[in-house]
Structure 1
Amino acid sequence: MHRRSLLGLAAAMPLASRALPALAQEARPVRLVLPFPAGGATDAVARVLAPGMAERLGQPVVIDNRPGAGGVPAAENVVRAAPDGLTLFFTTSSTHSAGPAVTPNLPYDVEADFTPVALLATQPYLLVISSTVPARTVEEFITWAKARPGQVNYGSSGVGTAPHLTGALFAALAKLQMVHVPYRGTGQVYAELRRGDVHALFDTPSTAAPHLASGTVRALGVGGRETPLVPGLPSLSRAVPGFESEVWFGLFGPARLPAEQVARLREAAIGAARDPALREKLAGLGAEPKGEDGEALRRVAAAERARWTALVRDPGIRASD
């Protein structure tokens, strides 16, 4: 080999060696850790957005469902992960707003131990009841429940989750004595609703819709804006003034995630949420796409956390079981 060729090869070697880690990084999948099981609203929204993120990042994006314990194990998994952009927390109000309000001594700090990346979507909560309950309106359900103090229950995806506190808020404002029954995910509550062992559930339209279509449960009202999946539902605030509850979906990384990684992930996530085809799919789940940055996510999580914290401090609320 000529001397000039050897010198050119030697000069190129450092550049190639520096490029190898970047290429290896892009070939490795980004893991979206979810605090709920497959089949729920969080899983459905994540699976709509993951392909759009993968396309924009140029690397695979995989879903890692880690349900149970109010999302604490899933959150800890992300907190312990390297801040390399390969492990992200695709989560909701339950872990970053409701959970800290109920359990202030969590094994992590939801502000300090996570890097907010993007606010992606919201969904309103529906009041869903078992078809064994003889109520056709919110008012009729309240009257029925008031006649049975301590005998009417509602299910949720776990202690300290947003569906749990939504039920506690509804019961407090409607002056009902309802018993909370926690599960590992709202999907598990439907079998109990069908049998009549659970009377009510606050759930999102995407999870509730197929069960409503089967006729085994009924939706009585919506806690936010009207949803196209279940059109014509009255606002729950008409029967229970002051009641409103929606869930947000957001993306966090571990603490100390480098700014360049945050920017790259933010652009991919927001780009997916704003993609017309994916927006249509999200709307089909009853979700309202947002596509806002990490600061917007931090603000909405903090505001919701303050709201739930005020709720659980009310001496009339039992939000710890």
Structure 2
Amino acid sequence: MNRRSLLALPALAAMARPAIAQQRPTRLIVPFPAGGATDAVSRLYAPLLGQRLGTTVVIENRPGAGGVPAAELVVRAPADGLTLLLATSSIHSTAPATGANLPYDVEKDFTPLALIGAAPSLVLVSRTVPVNDLRGFIAWAKARRGQVNYGSSGVATTPHLNGALLDSLADLGMVHVPYRGTGAVYAELLRGDVHVLLDVPATAATHIQAGTVKALAVTSAQETPLAPGIPTGEAAGLPGLVSETWFGIFGPANMPPALAARLTEASQAAMADADLRTRLLGLGVDPRAGDGAALAGAARVERERWTELVRRLNIRATD
């Protein structure tokens, strides 16, 4: 090798570094354990996102503390598109609404990139409740004010907030009974000790098919393939009974607009895959292909709804 070639090596190496850096995998931080619903969504979505980006998307589960450590990890990451958060309503909508002490600002410290799906809840009643539609349940519960209860998986959880929303809109005077997980609630529904539960179709389906519960309405704004034949809250007689757990992708704040646009476009291209959409429906998630504005809007609407309800009813996550 001649002297000119030797002198050229450092320059060539410097040129190669950015290309090598761009080959680093993208981390998709999932704030829940492996094996759960959000993790399952990530494992269907990540490979297709990686294909559209021309890179590998590696899933990194960071469960615990309501997803706060996972979200904080993304907040503190460089805004280079290599660390993303698969968030749900619990992080950007429910937690701030219920007064959780968060080490970040959900509006200012993230870049919303893409909405990828949503899951409504079903209004489920025990087979011991002698009604078959929501109007009938409202009339039945009003006649037994203070004697009808609704179960949840814990104080300030989504089933609790949904139950409180139903109770407030219909002015039923129901009693909230929190449990550790919805599994215990279904056992009480079977016995008739709990009268109503609002739960997502993915876990409710088995109990509906087994005849343990009756589904009276779905909390989506429009009819959904996740609950065929089940009317929306408005169609069933209770306007305003709208609530969805959304799934979306966020990056750190201050991402360059061109980079954010590239990630959004890649996500929308991934969400156009017919097989992915079918498999998400199988998980109980209605696929969406929204951009960052759609995600920010969904998070804000849910956050404002729950903030108003929590303040009015004095619901506290520490109760």
TM tier, smaller = 0.7 to 0.9
Alignment of 1:140-151 (within 5 A): 140-146=136-142, 147=144, 149=146
Q: CA separation of 1:242/1:271 partners in 2, compared to 1, >3 Å: closer, same or farther?
A: same
In the alignment, is the contact (CA less than 8 A) between 1:72 and 1:95 conserved in 2? yes
In the alignment, is the contact (CA less than 8 A) between 1:97 and 1:305 conserved in 2? yes
Q: Deviations over 1:278-309 (max 9, x none)?
A: 22323444543321221222223223322332
Q: Deviations over 1:160-193 (max 9, x none)?
A: 4443322111011122233435567656754555
* Sequence identity percentage: 52
In the alignment, is the contact (CA less than 8 A) between 2:151 and 2:185 conserved in 1? no
In the alignment, is the contact (CA less than 8 A) between 1:32 and 1:63 conserved in 2? yes
Indicate whether 1:107 and 2:95 are aligned. Answer: no
- SS state at 1:234 partner: coil
- SS state at 2:22 partner: helix
Indicate whether 1:178 and 2:174 are aligned. Answer: yes
TM-score of the superposed pair, with normalisation by structure 1? 0.81
Q: Deviations over 1:99-139 (max 9, x none)?
A: 32221753321111222111122233211234455543324
- SS state at 1:9 partner: helix
Counterpart position of 1:234: 231
- SS state at 2:84 partner: strand
Counterpart position of 1:62: 59
Q: CA separation of 1:47/1:200 partners in 2, compared to 1, >3 Å: closer, same or farther?
A: farther
Counterpart position of 2:113: 117
In the alignment, is the contact (CA less than 8 A) between 2:118 and 2:286 conserved in 1? yes
Q: CA separation of 1:36/1:6 partners in 2, compared to 1, >3 Å: closer, same or farther?
A: closer
Distance, in Å, in 1 between the alignment partners of 2:192 and 2:105 is: 39
Distance, in Å, in 2 between the alignment partners of 1:189 and 1:108 is: 33
Alignment of 1:218-297 (within 5 A): 218-224=214-220, 225-237=222-234, 238-297=236-295
Distance, in Å, in 2 between the alignment partners of 1:82 and 1:189 is: 43
Q: CA separation of 1:66/1:7 partners in 2, compared to 1, >3 Å: closer, same or farther?
A: same
Q: Deviations over 1:19-40 (max 9, x none)?
A: 33333x23xx513323577433
Distance, in Å, in 2 between the alignment partners of 1:108 and 1:250 is: 18
Q: CA separation of 1:22/1:63 partners in 2, compared to 1, >3 Å: closer, same or farther?
A: closer
Q: Which amino acid aligns with 1:97?
A: S
Q: CA separation of 1:65/1:15 partners in 2, compared to 1, >3 Å: closer, same or farther?
A: closer
Indicate whether 1:16 and 2:16 are aligned. Answer: yes
